[in-house]
Chains A and B, each alone.
Chain A
Amino acid sequence: MKMVTAIIKPFKLDEVREALSAIGVQGITVTEVKGFGRQKGHTELYRGAEYVVDFLPKIKLEAAVAASMLDQVIEAIEKTAKTGKIGDGKIFIHDIAQVIRIRTGETGAEAL
């Protein structure tokens, strides 16, 4: 089992969700986050007072998937979240030690 964490541009969320549903991902968790990468921030100017905004709004998307689906999931996210411009985000893959469905007590791949 793998945890796929993707940081993407906020306006790409719907496209990514549709692509993941289409390949059979059962659930995702989404968080509104702020951060910086190579895109850096931007400056804002209010009556001459300049503020550098270092952190830009992004979406963090997490999906726990079976190891066998991993390549498909990565491909789906890559394809739909890509604009080709700086700031498209990143995908991180982690191993999952255990999964438990709270309602039934199922564990492992059955709980995904």
Chain B
Amino acid sequence: MKKSLVLFTLLAGLCGFAAPSFADGLDTGATAWMLSSTALVLLMTIPGLALFYGGMVRKKNVLGTMMQSFAITALISVVWMVAGYSIAFDTTGMTKGVTNFYSFFGSLNHAFLNGMDMKSMTGGIPESVFMTFQMTFAIITPALITGAFADRMKFSTMLVFMTIWSLVVYSPIAHMVWSGDGGFLWDLGVLDFAGGTVVHINAGVAGLVTALMLGPRIGYGKEPMAPHNLVLTVIGAAMLWVGWFGFNAGSAVAADGRAGMAMAVTQIATAAAALGWMFAEWIVKGKPSVLGIASGAVAGLVAITPASGFVGPVGSLVIGVAAGVICFWAATSLKGMLGYDDSLDAFGVHAIGGIVGALLTGVFAVESIGGTAGSMGQLWIQAESVGITIAYTAVMTFIILKVLDIVMGLRVTEEQEREGLDIALHGERVE
């Protein structure tokens, strides 16, 4: 015991002395926070989202559902390294106010992370940290889509779909919104702090298109499809909540007052939305359900995502309540009226919550926090950006799926679907 303590002290001392010196301007506080944020955002997908979705499906599909999140985490890490990061964040050929090819797609100059070394910096942090932080966003976005087609998509097709989708839908939209001067939506003046358009509207709309193209699950609306274990879902929702501090406060890419404000409004909006959904359900359906309050929390997290870093506490309270009540309506009533089978409400929570948040950011933005004040003009810019995101995602997702349907087929066979994805696709079962 004593020996290992001495060894540890010695090692710690060595590491301290051996620390490499980075380029001037490195902000150690910001770097420490961004390293932590990156881990938090990864936690949102695995195990957070995997548990959240895994608990909501039937027992025969729980492994298949968790596998989708896990496999996407591995797959998109590689895709991002190879080309995704470059398409999203390379700034070659971009000039403020000039709309050209590079306003939509970054060049491939940074493919395979070309040019990223120990000294390269993004803002006050190492580029390696920024790249990995953004990688975790690129991972969770396609993973969110899986909720819409749960229980019925071919695993092989899903892998190909997510690879292409990440490169031609996610990275370009991230580029338009976040790459800086010359980016199409950036120049338009959109406010999207942590990914209301890039992550949530994007994933939610892609989910809706996928659900429509795959068609409903066999027996949808006739056979019982109750969640098999809501304990997993509640644990997953709680992990999403915790991890989201990295998502929103981390999007400040700094350890400063704006990051602190983003954290505070994230907590407030999430709490308000959880209560909003719970009370709405209690009043309309008679009981405050556990799935309801957990779903409400996620809806609030989604809605405050674009707004954090721009709005103050009171704005976040309104955004939270609105998200909780409107997403409750979308998941329980709108879905029934329109008849699509968005199995786990990727559209109802992420697209609808994202739209509520993106629009209200234009209303409640405070100049002293993010440099822009809410106004009718800003609301219009937000609405335009939402519209462009929806249109781009819907059309591109449709084209990709159409081609894949012809080439490899989207859906498992009826027999496989009845047997369950766990046994049919993975040869395993949960118990």
Identify the A interface with B (CB < 8 A).
44-49, 51, 53
Contacts and interface: CB of A to CB of B under 8 A. Distances in A.
B331 A44 contact: no
Nearest to A53: B224
Interface size class of B (residues with CB under 8 A): 10 to 19
B146 interface: no
Contact of B289 (A46, A51, A53): A46
A44 B291 CA distance: 12
Contacts of A51: 224-226
B336 A47 contact: no
A65 B295 CA distance: 54
A46 to B, nearest CB: 6
B335 A46 contact: no
Interface of B: 224-227, 285, 287, 289, 291-292, 295, 331-333, 335-336, 345
Nearest to A50: B285
5 contacts: A46-B289, A48-B332, A48-B333, A49-B225, A51-B224
A102 B349 CA distance: 61
Main secondary structure of the interface of A (DSSP, over half): strand
B351 to A, nearest CB: 15
Contact of B335 (A44, A48, A53): A48
B283 to A, nearest CB: 14
Main secondary structure of the interface of B (DSSP, over half): helix
Contacts of B333: 48
A44 to B, nearest CB: 6
Contacts of A45: 285, 287, 289
A46 B226 contact: yes
B202 to A, nearest CB: 22
A49 B345 CA distance: 12
Contact of B295 (A44, A47, A53): A47
A101 B225 CA distance: 45
Contacts of B295: 47
A49 to B, nearest CB: 7
A107 B285 CA distance: 59
A36 B248 CA distance: 50
Nearest to A44: B226
A33 to B, nearest CB: 19
B225 A47 contact: no
**6 shortest interchain CB distances as A-B pairs:** A48-B332, A51-B224, A47-B331, A51-B226, A47-B332, A45-B285
Given A47-B295, A47-B345, A51-B225, 6 more contacts: A44-B226, A48-B332, A48-B336, A49-B225, A49-B226, A51-B224
Contacts of B292: 47
Contacts of B227: 46
B335 to A, nearest CB: 7
Contacts of A46: 226-227, 289, 291
Nearest to B344: A47
Contacts of A53: 224
A44 B332 CA distance: 14
Contacts of B285: 45, 48
A44 B226 CA distance: 8
Contacts of A48: 285, 331-333, 335-336
A46 B224 CA distance: 11
Nearest to B224: A51
A51 B227 CA distance: 11
Contacts of A49: 225-226
Contacts of B226: 44, 46, 49, 51
A55 to B, nearest CB: 11
B254 to A, nearest CB: 38
A47 B346 CA distance: 13
A34 to B, nearest CB: 13
A47 B295 CA distance: 9
Nearest to B334: A48
B294 to A, nearest CB: 10
A45 B287 CA distance: 9
Contacts of B289: 45-46
A51 B222 CA distance: 9
Contacts of B225: 49, 51
B291 A47 contact: yes
Nearest to A54: B224
A46 B290 CA distance: 9
A45 B336 CA distance: 14
